[in-house]
Amino acid sequence: MGDDAPPIGIDLGTTYSCVAVWKHDRIEIIPNNQGNRTTPSCVAFVDAARLIGDGAKNQAAINPANTIFDAKRLIGRRFSDSKVQDDMKLWPFKVIEGPADTPKISVSYKGETKEFLAEEISSMVLRKMKETAEAYIGKPVKNAVITVPAYFNESQRHATKDAGAIAGLNIISMINEPTSAAIAYGLDINKSLIKTKKKKKNVLVFDLGGGTFDVSILTIVEGAHIIKVKAVSGDTHLGGEDFDNRMVDHCVQEFKRKWEKDLKPNKKAVGRLRCACEKAKRILSCDTQTSIELDCLHEGIDFCMKFSRAKFEELNMGYFDRCMETVEACLRDTKMKKSSVHEVILVGGSTRIPKIQLMLQKLFYGKELCKSLNPDEAVAYGAAVMAAKLNPNSDKIRFGDLVLLDVTPLSLGIQLMGEIFDVVIPRNTTIPRKKSRIYRTAFENQTSVGIRVYQGERARSTDNHLLGMFTVSGIPPVRKRQQQVKVCFEIDANGILTVATKILATGQKNKLTITNENGRLCKEEIEKMVKDADKYKHEDREFKKKADALNALHKQLKYISR
């Protein structure tokens, strides 16, 4: 890693992102140029510039069609995905179908219509985090550890890695968000272990963020030297934004009931209302009542409405129940009793909601919840620890013996005749892992076989997520079931899968590469996007120079006029 800056840890969140680094013999959360320790995962295109982070979020209400958020809910998904279609009804910006069923975001920028993949939008946020770190460290940053939701599938992980490459980052590792939080927690567990004389602790990480939800059960051994994930469960489409949406819908219905006017077609009005609802949600975590007040919201009508914590809980109880059901499912997967869980750790901004804490505490028979970690920063903190461990120049005495054993969140397998899903690597298998299976030809004189790789938990293969497909040809023609094809699945520590085949009779080998047909970016496309990102960066810099010069001139003229 040479003379470059030390590798950084990035929590690429749905709504907010955070970056951290090991410096001055400790982990430091790096504030952005606004002094904030988290940055909105938001990109806006205005007349002459591109805004990322706080600047983008601050103008979202007046420029809704060109302010992009929720890229994490799009990344690695297909346009035809039902969740994408549902989200499109809520987003003020336009999403269109691109090649190979990929969703593309359409915006107006400098008088032209521009289209971006979710990977490109995420790369802009990652580049912002990279530049934030560089300003703090004072050196170019190249290497990073990025976190992803534990329940992200293979396609979503690949797409996130592509986003890092477009941002000019070398992703040295990708780790699951709750696992990263457990690393942060594990740094301080040693004293607790000594006091209780326990050699291990079973820990449940409850990670509820802005757009995703994960539950992980881990065992931390010998003062966090070994962190072993037992099971993960979750929902990549459940978080604080869903709670906001329920509040927005309620306010829209109230406006219609009172004034007999529909707010929904007015994107700017809905954008203002969304910002107000998000603010009200945060207040309701501290107070039992607040009010939403917006002047001239729609057709000159002022909107004022009292909102109680009880109403917020009523609107979102279905989501809260889903969270608790996910915890129960994760416990069942580990066959662990609730009483065997020594600590329940809260991660993610949405865990500040009192009702969530109350329900979780009740689920664990009144157990005190662990709130020692900053829920907004814990994931980036753990990622920075892992980055320091992987840095050859870091303190090996401190990090060298940290062992992280994660699991694959979803089962991996291939399709057999009759659309049967044959699992090769079951979910919650410790990774890295390599596993092979031998299959026989199904027909007389069969010379080729199609391999379709899926990820999921459904018995019928087509109900799962298709990762890719390829054809094994050159099989010597003989009677059915006489020829054998060995299929080998290998999943690395980042959760990235490689599938290889071997015809046993001839020794011929083949390997599956996830290509653009499967929604994966090819090398040439990534290189083009890197160049485009550099071009936008140059344009942003030139715009800032002109804006600074104009502001300086205005100040000078103001001074002269005195």
Is-cis flag, bond preceding 6, omega within 30?
Answer: no
Q: Is position 457 annotated as part of the catalytic site?
A: no
DSSP secondary structure code for residue 13 in this structure: -
Q: What is the three-state SS of 173-205?
A: EEEEHHHHHHHHHHCCHHHHHHHHCCCEEEEEE
The C-alpha atoms of residue 133 and residue 227 are separated, in whole angstroms, by 28
Smallest CA-to-CA distance from 76 within 467, 500, 470, 530 is with 467
Given 54, 57, 70, 72, which residue is catalytic?
72
Which residues are registered as beta bridge partners of 477?
none
The C-alpha atoms of residue 427 and residue 153 are separated, in whole angstroms, by 11
Residue 118 main-chain phi, psi, to 5 deg = -60, -35
Q: Is position 119 annotated as part of the catalytic site?
A: no
The C-alpha atoms of residue 186 and residue 227 are separated, in whole angstroms, by 8
Which residues are registered as beta bridge partners of 485?
439, 503
Residues 6 or more apart from 426 whose CB is under 8 A from it? 411
Smallest CA-to-CA distance from 312 within 304, 320, 322 is with 320
DSSP secondary structure code for residue 367 in this structure: P
Residue 315 main-chain phi, psi, to 5 deg = -65, -30
3-class state of residue 261 by DSSP: coil
Given 207, 313, 343, 377, which residue is catalytic?
207
Given 131, 177, 343, 406, which residue is catalytic?
177
> Which residue type sits at 104?
K
Given 11, 120, 242, 343, which residue is catalytic?
11
Asked if 106 and 261 touch (Cβ cutoff 8 Å), the reply is no
The C-alpha atoms of residue 193 and residue 195 are separated, in whole angstroms, by 5
| Helices and strands in the chain: count of H runs, count of E runs | 14, 28
Torsion sign (Cα): 210, 106, 131, 168? positive
Is-cis flag, bond preceding 31, omega within 30?
Answer: no
Q: Is position 306 annotated as part of the catalytic site?
A: no
Pull the structure tokens for residue 358: 């109350």
3-class state of residue 233 by DSSP: strand
Residues 6 or more apart from 63 whose CB is under 8 A from it? 44, 46
Pull the structure tokens for residue 341: 């869980």
Smallest CA-to-CA distance from 184 within 341, 332, 386 is with 386
> Which residue type sits at 433?
R
Q: Is position 154 annotated as part of the catalytic site?
A: no
Enzyme catalytic residues: 11, 72, 177, 207
